[in-house]
């Protein structure tokens, strides 16, 4: 990567609270173009709350969020998707009563280039062969891992500049976790900038350019992904060593 890195996403002194709880207490981080960033931390650290605030799902109490050099504080998720900031939420959130193909088309709802949409559906079927096999199946009848693939495919159909993945491996079998991380690497290799929130710290840091460690609503460590993976404090806290 060249030295002249372009900042796509910048979070400054972010504070987010809900129901009287201050979940995020002043967080700073940035994501450069072409990076895969992992945000790790234990359950309840504030990772998902941060992601929801960044993508317009929760109000910002204090601080700012800049995307492509402009503040997006207060913007709704719908507007942000149109600008290329797209999240795959924790819990997947597929349209259960729609088919796999219909779910993918929903991801392209903001687009009107029919030929491009058709090409991208073929791309998703190449990336996720299992979805192609079951393209007419209702999404709600699929396994958790298959739904995760569909949620990622649906997000990619919107042609994101920055893809936020919130706990993509949660609740999946080891084989499906392998597949999801393989896809994360493939999508990253295709040039999509990724912000990955993940409790599976070893897998998340192994694929990351840089990582941030979040504890009790604050960023407590940052560094190169491999360096954090080998850091004794990280290994003790998150890798059970």
- CATH number of the structural domain spanning residue 165: 3.40.50.300
- Residue 90 tokens read as 């924790």
Read off the pLDDT of each residue in 211-223 and give the average, rounded to a whole number. Answer: 96
Q: Are strands 210-215 and 218-224 parallel, antiparallel or unpaired?
A: antiparallel
By mean pLDDT, which of 33-37, 87-91, 222-226 is the weakest?
Answer: 87-91
Is residue 4 predicted with pLDDT exceeding 80? no
Instruction: Give pLDDT, residue 118.
Output: 97
Given a contact cutoff of 8 angstroms between Cβ atoms, the answer to whether 87 and 71 are in contact is: no
Read off the pLDDT of each residue in 13-25 and give the average, rounded to a whole number. Answer: 91
In a domain, 203, yes or no: yes
Percent of the chain with pLDDT over 70: 98
Given a contact cutoff of 8 angstroms between Cβ atoms, the answer to whether 214 and 23 are in contact is: no
Percent of the chain with pLDDT over 90: 87
Does the predicted model carry a pTM greater than 0.85?
Answer: yes
Instruction: Give pLDDT, residue 208.
Output: 97
User: What range does the domain containing 159 cover?
Assistant: 34-57+75-210+219-238
In a domain, 6, yes or no: no
* Integer Cα distance of 208 and 212 in angstroms: 10
In a domain, 183, yes or no: yes
Residue 155 — pLDDT band, cuts 50, 70, 90?
Answer: very high
**Overall domain count for the chain:** 1
Question: How far is CA 167 from each of CA 6, 196, 198, rounded to the nearest angstrom?
Answer: 26, 8, 5
Average pLDDT over all residues of the chain:
93
Read off the pLDDT of each residue in 56-63 and give the average, rounded to a whole number. Answer: 94
Given a contact cutoff of 8 angstroms between Cβ atoms, the answer to whether 27 and 217 are in contact is: yes
Read off the pLDDT of each residue in 32-59 and give the average, rounded to a whole number. Answer: 94
- Residue 234 tokens read as 């990280």
Backbone angles phi, psi at 26, to 5 degrees: 120, 70
Q: Are strands 70-71 and 62-67 parallel, antiparallel or unpaired?
A: antiparallel
- Residue 18 tokens read as 């809900």
- Residue 87 tokens read as 């999240």
E strands, 74-173, where? 85-88, 162-166
- What single DSSP character describes residue 99? B
- Other C-beta atoms within 10 Å of 4: how many? 6
In a domain, 26, yes or no: no
Given a contact cutoff of 8 angstroms between Cβ atoms, the answer to whether 195 and 165 are in contact is: yes
Residue 241 — pLDDT band, cuts 50, 70, 90?
Answer: low
Burial class (CB in 10 A: 0-12, 13-18, 19+), 123: middle
In a domain, 107, yes or no: yes
In a domain, 3, yes or no: no
Instruction: Give pLDDT, residue 18.
Output: 81
Read off the pLDDT of each residue in 158-185 and give the average, rounded to a whole number. Answer: 94
In a domain, 63, yes or no: no
In a domain, 65, yes or no: no
Is residue 3 predicted with pLDDT exceeding 60? no
* Helices vs. strands in the chain: H and E counts, helices first: 10, 10
Residue 92 — pLDDT band, cuts 50, 70, 90?
Answer: confident
Instruction: Give pLDDT, residue 2.
Output: 46
């Amino acid at each position: 990567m060249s030295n002249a890195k372009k900042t796509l996403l910048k979070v400054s002194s972010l504070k987010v609270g809900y129901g009287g709880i201050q979940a995020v207490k002043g967080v700073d981080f940035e994501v450069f173009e072409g990076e895969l960033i992992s945000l790790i931390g234990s359950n309840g650290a504030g990772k998902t709350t941060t992601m929801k605030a960044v993508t317009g799902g929760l109000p910002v109490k204090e601080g700012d969020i800049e995307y492509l050099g402009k503040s997006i504080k207060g913007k709704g998720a719908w507007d942000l998707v149109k600008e290329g900031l797209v999240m795959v939420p924790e819990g997947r959130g597929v349209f259960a009563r729609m088919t796999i193909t219909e779910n993918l088309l929903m991801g392209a709802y903001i687009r009107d280039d029919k030929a491009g949409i058709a090409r991208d559906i073929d791309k998703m079927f190449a990336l996720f062969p299992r979805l192609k096999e079951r393209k007419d199946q209702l999404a709600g009848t699929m396994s958790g891992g298959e739904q995760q693939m569909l949620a990622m495919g649906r997000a990619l159909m919107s042609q994101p500049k920055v893809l936020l993945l919130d706990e993509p491996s949660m609740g999946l079998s080891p084989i499906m976790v392998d597949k999801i991380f393989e896809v994360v690497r493939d999508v990253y290799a295709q040039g999509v900038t990724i912000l990955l929130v993940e409790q599976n710290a070893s897998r998340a840091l192994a694929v990351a350019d840089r990582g941030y460690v979040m504890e009790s609503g604050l960023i407590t460590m940052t560094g190169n992904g491999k360096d954090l993976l080998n850091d004794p404090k990280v290994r003790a806290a998150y890798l059970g060593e």
